[in-house]
Chains A and B, each alone.
Chain A
Amino acid sequence: MTAEAPPPPGPWRQAMRGLARNRASMAALAVLVLITLSCVLAPLYARDIARTDPFTSNVAGSIMLDGHEVDIMQPNDNPLHLGLSPIGPTGHAAYLLGADSQGRDVAARMLYGGRNSLLISSCAAVLCLILAAAAGIAAGFFGGLVDAVLSRLMDIMWAVPVYLFAISLSIVTVSQGLKLGPFVVEADSLLIPIVIIALVYVPYAARPIRGRVLALRQAEFVTAARCLGVPRWRIVLFDILPNVTTTLVVLGPLLMALSLLAESALSFLSIGVQAPAASWGTIIQDGEGLIYTRPMVAIAPGLAIVLVVLALNILGDGLRDALDVRDAARRSS
């Protein structure tokens, strides 16, 4: 008697194993987890380590460094006594990366800003995928008038440059907030950038999904289901949706990266996250006026954005490789 061979792993498990073997993707994932964890722990850092309130102006304040009281805004050394510069990176827990033009701890604001940037970009990506899946599946599966209307709508949205579109929506909403019947969204709510960013990227995700659904609609198992009289909603839910999930998963990190860039751009233009809240975009804006004297204020959030976007792209590539059956077959051969 021979032992029965274990069943072959499912496609998802195979994909995860493939991903785990991809060192670059694993490194990217580690970077993302590390940054996310750091940002989640921002209140702890501000309260217990830096001992600072990163949302309150503190230009007239001072800190103790090596037993000496040091002004946060330091006079420039010139005969005319012109200008003051915020304290630079201290190498201490307090003001590790220095202060911004309002005397606030840049490191603490970086972590708080990261929370908002990551939250907005991830929520926008998820919302965008949900909307894009609904639009793409409806257009691809039902075809005809539904497809025509949805596709033209996507074309119109696609025709408008994404940042111009986002800026237009943001300017309208950031001044007045959003009032949808009984629902009121305050102008400084994070929901506003989330919804705007999700909306502007819907066409970018809906198109590939629609293409995939068009192919699936002709697939034998769908034809068979139709012949058997399976209701259309069941076909969509149990035959189409599972087969576009891989596309959605691959698009996820890429959309999150795009959303992060869009959020940073909007916040940099003062039409995203509203002060005194922070995001990496607002911190870059704060640093713009200090670029000659305290470049770290702009460089640090810039580096964080680059790092996260790079990691998300590498992870997205890894996911695509892991979930692409043909690619896997090529690799195994």
Chain B
Amino acid sequence: MVQKRFFAMGCVLAALCAASGSPSFAQAELTTAPTPRPAPISSDSHKGGTLRLAAQNSGGTLDPQVSYISLIKQLETPVYDGLLAFPKFAGSAAQPVIANLAEVVPQPEDGGRTYRFTLRPNLHFSNGQVVRVEDVAASFRRLFKVGSPTAGPYYSHIVGADACLHDPARCTLAGGIETDPTTRTITFHLTQPDAEFLDRLAWFHAAILPASTPPHDTGNTAPPGTGPYRVTRYDPATGMVLERNPYFREWAHDAQPAGYVDSIQVTFGLDPEGEVTAIENGQYDWMYEDVPLDRLGEVGSRYAGQVQIYTLLLYYYAALNVRMPPFNSLKARQALSYAINRHAMVIYHGGAAVATPLCQLLPQGAPGYEPSCAYTKGASPAHPLPQWQAPDLEEARKLVRESGTAGQKVTIIAPLEGRYAAMAMELRSTLASLGYDTSVRSMTQTVQFPYVQNSDNHVQIALTGWNADYPSASTFLQTLFTCASFRPHSDNSPNMSAFCNPDIDALMNKASAAALTSPAESRQRWAEVDRALMAQAPAVPLVQIKRVSLLSKRTRNAIVTLNDEILLSQLQVR
């Protein structure tokens, strides 16, 4: 994967994305039970030094409210803070948000329509300016003014947000955010309850910036932040430097811990093969890109102690257009789900240590995930097995015969890049074995992603991926499969299957609403939604992947979290 992560609509296009975590220098598996642990403060903590990172390309703009590139998010996580944060202690399970610039996580009031925060005292931006409640309000107005990619999807429930979306330049969020400088209180008023509002306040785009930050994309200039580091140099062609923020004093270790190294230097331009070699030679400490497939064996055998493997909330799937032949037939969709060889898909990503066969639309680690595989040998939607066993070609061919779709032409639209090409060929082979006249049309990923979303392009089957910005069932199920998320004739229609089932929509609404009052019930309902969706097979989930990250020999204390991956501020160098 060349460029990575973060792309559209609160979720991410697969190869443009990644996330998440495990303890240092150990392989991690996701667990469903949250096990918060304090960040390890090792006795041999080593402060100082320069951390040297390598990335293939720069990530474009540094504006934390505009950038949707994972590299920038990862580099700027120790630069900016929101009112809330995802915990920064090691662990591979989804964790609830914790207070960051706010003193505590508030309880919702008014049936989930009001949230009242108190800003911590004595906080400073990296330019020395004190953080005021007005900065908080201005930051949320700026989200709309700069056209933040998540302004609509994540923050449209704030009162006044509709007007801001309509006329960003005159955005006031009147009635939506109230501030009281004397008590340092910020009150958010929502038009309707939003079960994920707190998660969204912890999301990267909700960074608090000085009120004086210009209301436009700041491009190559990083606005002052509150974190332990500040960006002191950035040249998209060559590299970036982060140095200590002299005004930073640690206020909550789990939310924004102080950094160990004095500076972080990032060099752009090396390809992943070159990055691996450079790290092996001790010239760099960490590479942003995944270790290339053909170097996995070498890295696993000679540098096993320097490898981090962690699960991402990222999966690849084939979206089947339920409004076009042959996949307007439920039996044809189910046939493909039975026939696909997920073991082969795992092999394409580097084997069982790096990828897991996925049978359902909620990945491991997402709230509501309950292992279930309806389409594998010996299973059915009514009697699923806990995990995928093997393809069932016999059942698949029978379903194709019953659907009467054999012999029809099917074109797979797939990204040109890397593993997608191999997965597309596997899909093609599978469809051909079911009797379809199959071809693959490849295009670059940046073109393919909007192309397959637009119903005008009459895509029958699209190979794509999805990654959550934060652990949430709705990010996968509601974003990808509700009637509302199918927008005909639009390049921004994440429901690529054009799937619309009002009954399942109602189930999702119930699951979402339950999150405000009973998270356990909500998770149970999301699991039901997952099974109901899989019975309709609007997509064929293929594989969930893990990230393989390589660190230099001199690097220590790799803390990995589900949301922020490796915490750069916590790395130590000797």
A interface with B by C-beta (< 8 Å): 56-57, 59-60, 73, 75-85, 101-102, 175, 187-188, 270, 274-276, 289-294
Report Cα–Cα, A102/B309, bound state, in Å: 24
Q: Are B298 and A292 in contact (CB under 8 A)?
A: yes
Q: Are A82 and B297 in contact (CB under 8 A)?
A: yes
Chain B interface mostly helix, strand, loop or mixed?
helix
Shortest distance from the beta carbon of B339 to any chain A beta carbon, whole Å: 13
Cβ contacts under 8 Å, B343 to chain A:
60
Q: Which 8 A-B pairs rank lowest in CB-CB distance, beginning with the nearest?
A: A83-B296, A76-B297, A78-B300, A82-B300, A78-B301, A82-B296, A80-B300, A81-B353
Cβ contacts under 8 Å, B492 to chain A:
none
Given the known interface contacts A60-B347, A83-B296, A289-B292, the answer about A188 and B439 at a Cβ–Cβ threshold of 8 Å is yes
Shortest distance from the beta carbon of B112 to any chain A beta carbon, whole Å: 45
21 A-B contact pairs sorted by A residue (CB < 8 Å): A56-B432, A57-B344, A57-B425, A57-B426, A60-B344, A60-B347, A73-B347, A78-B299, A78-B300, A78-B301, A80-B307, A80-B309, A82-B300, A82-B351, A83-B300, A83-B354, A102-B425, A274-B440, A276-B428, A289-B418, A293-B297
Residue of A at shortest CB range from B297? A76
Cβ contacts under 8 Å, B273 to chain A:
292
Report Cα–Cα, A294/B300, bound state, in Å: 17
Residue of A at shortest CB range from B391? A60
Which residue from B298, B304, B307, B440 sits with its C-beta under 8 Å from A275?
A: B440
Shortest distance from the beta carbon of B433 to any chain A beta carbon, whole Å: 8
Question: Which of A59, A82, A102, A289 gathers most chain B CB within 10 Å?
Answer: A82
Interface size class of B (residues with CB under 8 A): 35 or more
Q: Are A56 and B429 in contact (CB under 8 A)?
A: yes
Q: Is B146 an interface residue (CB 8 A)?
A: no
Q: Are B416 and A289 in contact (CB under 8 A)?
A: no
Query: Interface digits, B288-322 against A, CB 8 Å rule (1 contact, 0 not)?
Result: 00011111111111001001010000000000000
Q: Are A59 and B297 in contact (CB under 8 A)?
A: no
Shortest distance from the beta carbon of B379 to any chain A beta carbon, whole Å: 19
Q: Are B301 and A77 in contact (CB under 8 A)?
A: yes
B interface with A by C-beta (< 8 Å): 27, 273, 291-301, 304, 307, 309, 341, 343-344, 347-348, 350-354, 416, 418, 421-422, 425-426, 428-429, 432, 439-443, 548
Residue of A at shortest CB range from B417? A270
Shortest distance from the beta carbon of A106 to any chain B beta carbon, whole Å: 15
Report Cα–Cα, A270/B445, bound state, in Å: 14
Report Cα–Cα, A188/B273, bound state, in Å: 31
Report Cα–Cα, A217/B363, bound state, in Å: 77
Which residue from B295, B352, B441 sits with its C-beta under 8 Å from A81?
A: B352
Cβ contacts under 8 Å, B293 to chain A:
83, 101, 289
Shortest distance from the beta carbon of A83 to any chain B beta carbon, whole Å: 3
Which residue from A84, A276, A290, A291 sits with its C-beta under 8 Å from B351?
A: A84
Cβ contacts under 8 Å, B27 to chain A:
80
Q: A81-B353, A275-B421 are in contact. List 10 more A-B contacts (CB 8 A).
A: A57-B425, A60-B347, A73-B347, A75-B351, A78-B304, A80-B309, A82-B291, A82-B548, A83-B293, A289-B418
Given the known interface contacts A59-B344, A276-B425, the answer about A83 and B350 at a Cβ–Cβ threshold of 8 Å is yes
Shortest distance from the beta carbon of B335 to any chain A beta carbon, whole Å: 18
Which residue from B294, B428, B548 sits with its C-beta under 8 Å from A292?
A: B294
Report Cα–Cα, A82/B295, bound state, in Å: 9
Report Cα–Cα, A85/B293, bound state, in Å: 9
Which residue from A77, A84, A276, A292 sits with its C-beta under 8 Å from B350?
A: A84
Q: Are B300 and A81 in contact (CB under 8 A)?
A: yes
Shortest distance from the beta carbon of B236 to any chain A beta carbon, whole Å: 25
